[in-house]
Structure 1
Amino acid sequence: MKLVYAFDAYCGWSHGFSGTLGAVVARHPGLPVEVVSGGLFTGARRVPIRAFGYVQGANAEIARLTGAEFGEPYERLIADGSFVMDSEAAARGLAALRRAAPDRAADLAVALQRAFYVDGLSLSDPATLRKVAEDAGLDSGSVAAAFEGAGARAEAEADFRRTASLGVTGFPTLLAVQGDRVTPLAHGHSTADDIDRRLASLTV
């Protein structure tokens, strides 16, 4: 069995799930975790953030329920509503980081979200990928180069297809996959204890 975590780096609820994800991974160190990106803001949804209404209100609810941090640099970045969230670029970023350290994909996904939601950095900027990679002790030059290469673009598209094939309709979603059997463990807000109970029911 393995876990599959489907998220979008530009999804506030995915950011709010970071603490739960970290706890689950820490509690089950022998359980492989596959992390795949969703395409939440692609195509016609790749528009200025003001098009999505009162984002701060949703973020306040996420923070209340999960304790997630939304930093002042992030608030400044989105203040005038012109920032464009590009999930394809974010997925390329995850692909580049994941390629550099496949066994750390969950931690790197969390770090990528912190770069946006706490540090207020665009996930379309290669400099952001350099910083995330450097902070993680990875080769920042290689990660930045991979981010801008054709391989990461292909991996991002493959991630989008993977999430769709698993029946994922929203983010974050955590699944347990055993062969052809796919069992939802969490969708949106959940606690590590809740997930542990669902995992235990699969192994008895």
Structure 2
Amino acid sequence: MNNKELALIYVWDAYCGWCYGFSKSLKAFHENHPELPLTVLSGGLFVGHKKLPIASFSHIPEANKRISQLTGAEFGTPYQTLLEEGTFVMDSEAAAKGFSALRFFAPERAYLLASSIQRAFYYEGKSLSDPATYREIAIANNLDPEAVLAQFQDVASTKDAHADFAKVQQLGVQSYPTLLLQKGDEFIGLGGGVMTTEKIEARLENILL
């Protein structure tokens, strides 16, 4: 099998702290393998009855400490303030819509846009339901901010977000972050959690042997 039949699928959620921690490893791995196309899918972690104030998830502060210790990810002061106040509602559908709107204009930069979204929340403490957040991300990534906002508010972004959630369910992925290698009709787990770039590389090598 040649590399043309291989591709990467990354399943994440904008409000997943472990995805934020995994981003450095994935960025380095992705840069090492420009020959492997990468599709980024939103998982839909906090939707429906799980769309609750951040204080409802009492494990988050401790998880964040572990994420920092294991990955070196930095959680910014504005985010820590949100966490302490406890009333902020994490809405993964709104975040997936925002990601869809950005991805629409730069699909080849989907992973970098996902990273920008996570930094906006986990470092800058910005709401991923607020159109102004996507305006700033669009400007920082040289995209037309008005076009991105129009796309965010269009029903097409909601449909696209739901299509991502459905694909993730079809793949049977239930934890985030999950990096899959698509090899023909097979989907093979390649990495996630706190895996280093070196460990992902080793796993890829084993699969391709």
Listed as ranges, the gaps of 5+ residues in structure 1 are none
- In the other structure, the counterpart of 1:130 is 135
- Measured after TM superposition, the shift of residue 90 of structure 1 is 0.6
Letter matched to residue 110 of structure 2: A
- In the other structure, the counterpart of 2:80 is 75
- Measured after TM superposition, the shift of residue 54 of structure 1 is 4.2
- Out of 170, 178, 181, the residue aligned to residue 173 of structure 1 is 178
SS in structure 1 at match of 2:89: coil
- Measured after TM superposition, the shift of residue 76 of structure 1 is 1.4
- In the other structure, the counterpart of 1:49 is 54
- Measured after TM superposition, the shift of residue 179 of structure 1 is 2.3
TM-score, with structure 1 as normaliser: 0.97
Listed as ranges, the gaps of 5+ residues in structure 2 are 1-5
1:61 aligns with 2:66: yes
Deviant stretches of 4+, over 6 Å? none
Rounded to whole Å, the distance in 2 between the matches of 1:128 and 1:162 is 26
Rounded to whole Å, the distance in 2 between the matches of 1:160 and 1:194 is 27
Rounded to whole Å, the distance in 1 between the matches of 2:62 and 2:169 is 29
SS in structure 1 at match of 2:101: helix
Q: Per-residue CA shift, 1:117-161, capped at 9, x if unaligned? A: 001100000000011111111111111111111010000000001
Rounded to whole Å, the distance in 1 between the matches of 2:100 and 2:160 is 6
- In the other structure, the counterpart of 1:20 is 25
SS in structure 1 at match of 2:85: coil
SS in structure 2 at match of 1:124: coil
- In the other structure, the counterpart of 1:164 is 169
Rounded to whole Å, the distance in 2 between the matches of 1:55 and 1:197 is 30
Q: Per-residue CA shift, 1:90-135, capped at 9, x if unaligned? A: 1001111111100001111111100000011000000000111111
TM-score, with structure 2 as normaliser: 0.95
- In the other structure, the counterpart of 2:190 is 185
Range that drifts further, 16-25 or 53-62: 53-62
Letter matched to residue 65 of structure 1: L
Rounded to whole Å, the distance in 2 between the matches of 1:29 and 1:68 is 24
Rounded to whole Å, the distance in 1 between the matches of 2:76 and 2:160 is 30
- Measured after TM superposition, the shift of residue 198 of structure 1 is 1.4
- Measured after TM superposition, the shift of residue 200 of structure 1 is 1.6
SS in structure 2 at match of 1:65: helix
